[in-house]
Chain A
């Protein structure tokens, strides 16, 4: 009898051991085949980010796991476009939001993972509801009381409001914690990603805030200013431009600090990338003049004359400073 019981126990142990051993081996083989590499994990996130905003140069992770309510923070490479992945407590766990910022403006909110109730949450996740968060983060008041909750979906609304506010708070902190040097470096690298960094070139050219050279490369950026509407008429700051040169070619022109009113359509057009793109020329083939120095080689519009003059002046100053540096 005792021998029979012992045999039963032994058989049970052997059978269960064999089954679990085979299962373990099988699972480890499948695990090796289906393992998600860190690269694939990153690609999944980038796929989601590109579905929100297609960044031509892709995204770079600015900060990983920056905090409890912020999962990740990405920047469109070479652009002033940021996405904060934040979360807020909804009805059934956390609601994940992809909050996009352009400069100081919240431009888009996309809903990510969540487990809130289908059929109810859709009213909160609609663009018409999410657009209430859009706007300049320094002008808009992001207090909880300033946002509406959808009737019947109070918890989901609360989760979205909390996640949006978390993203804004984080992004504000990020912007404010940057030193001017960091912001300048980001701006320069945004125009051209220098492999070995940037070095400042001494210049005594008037109205030039700085001239920089990419170490070991033929790329230069001149930070020049021109007299715009505010500076001419209201005693405000001059319009600042960043002009990227390589050889005898202007590769790009971007706006820096200025006080021109973007609310006016004519001014907005003149400050736009499309307008500034006309300056991407060979500096030897075009005459650079400004104000009353004669006819321009560039497009002008009847609107925003002062702002246009300021931009033309800043570009001309940059070109002259660059030519002087090259000795041409």
Chain B
């Protein structure tokens, strides 16, 4: 249980692919003009992460080291193609919105990094949980980016008007420059909070250890 929670914390916070590792920047900047796009891309990537991690972990002892990269790419591309076909059939509007970026999940370095660094060296269940956690972290980050950009550029969230006509639309946030700006600001905020919390936790741990030492000495 602790291992699962540790994996989740890792994917969502400590090794959040966007805010901490700065991976997968291409879709992050390109498709986060709305929350729905972010959610769609995040969930599609999560599906690919979970199943590619699962399969790669399952075959980790069979795949020769020399051909692991082409083997990983075939596995990842298969799941991406499945996602693409399913989206085209059942979520056509979203499929049209995301366009070429669905196919580009194949070369998303987050997916490849998890396959190479985690799934190829860990058991099946752990690898699937790791894929889910990292996918979740990616989805949350994309949704956050999409929310900020959609609000500032169009005054809407999930397509519903949130900010009335009184709010001046800042159209730059719908453009690539606005994407970089949002990413930089959110990344800075995320890391500032993360460092502060880490520092506080470290101080608390040290104080706790010191108290235990004092108590041990007193005994």
Contact between chains at B82 and A119 (CB < 8 Å) = no
**Which residues in window 74-103 of B have CB below 8 A to A?**
74-75, 77-78, 81-82, 85-86, 88-90, 92, 96, 99
- What is the predominant secondary structure among interface residues of chain B facing chain A? helix
Q: Which of B5-13, B18-26, B64-72, B181-189 contacts A (4 or more CB under 8 A)?
A: B64-72
List 15 additional A-B contacts (Cβ < 8 Å) besides A20-B74, A23-B78, A119-B173: A8-B66, A11-B64, A15-B71, A16-B67, A16-B74, A19-B74, A26-B78, A30-B85, A34-B88, A34-B90, A35-B89, A36-B88, A36-B89, A44-B92, A119-B153
User: Of residues 21 to 70 in A, which have CB atoms within 8 Å of B's CB atoms?
Assistant: 23, 26-27, 30-31, 33-36, 44
Name B residues whose Cβ lies closer than 8 Å to a Cβ of A. Answer: 33, 59, 62-64, 66-67, 70-71, 74-75, 77-78, 81-82, 85-86, 88-90, 92, 96, 99, 153, 171-175, 178
B78 to chain A, nearest CB (A): 4
- Tell me the minimal C-beta distance from A29 to chain B in angstroms: 10
Residue numbers in B under 8 Å from A27 (CB-CB):
78, 81-82, 85
Among all A-B residue pairs, the 6 with the closest Cβ atoms: A119-B174, A119-B171, A34-B89, A23-B78, A118-B174, A34-B85
Q: Shortest distance in angstroms between A33's beta carbon and chain B's nearest beta carbon?
A: 8
From B64, B153, B172, B173, contact of A8 by CB (8 A): B64
Q: Which of A12, A33, A34, A44 contacts B67 (CB 8 A)?
A: A12
CB atoms of A119 and B70 under 8 A apart: no
- Cβ of B169 to closest chain A Cβ, rounded Å: 9
B78/A34 in contact, CB under 8 A: no
Contact status B86-A117, CB under 8 Å: no
What number of A residues sit within 8 Å (CB to CB) of B? Answer: 24
B198 CB to closest chain A CB, in angstroms? 37
**Whole-angstrom CA separation of A10 from B79 in the bound complex:** 26
Query: Are A15 and B67 in touch, CB under 8 angstroms?
Result: yes
Q: Can you list 8 A-B pairs with a CB-CB distance of less than 8 A?
A: A8-B66, A19-B63, A23-B75, A26-B78, A113-B96, A118-B174, A119-B172, A122-B171
Whether a CB of chain B sits under 8 angstroms from the CB of A120 is: yes
**Does A115 make an interface contact (CB < 8 A)?**
yes
* Complex Cα–Cα for A115 and B82 (A): 24
Output the least CB separation between A301 and chain B (Å): 42
User: Which single residue of chain B is at the shortest CB-CB distance from A23?
Assistant: B78
Q: Say how far B36's CB is from chain A's closest CB, in angstroms.
A: 14
Q: How far is the CA of A26 from the CA of B77 in the complex (A)?
A: 12
With contacts A113-B96, A119-B174, A122-B171 taken as known, whether A30 is within 8 angstroms of B74 at the C-beta atoms is no
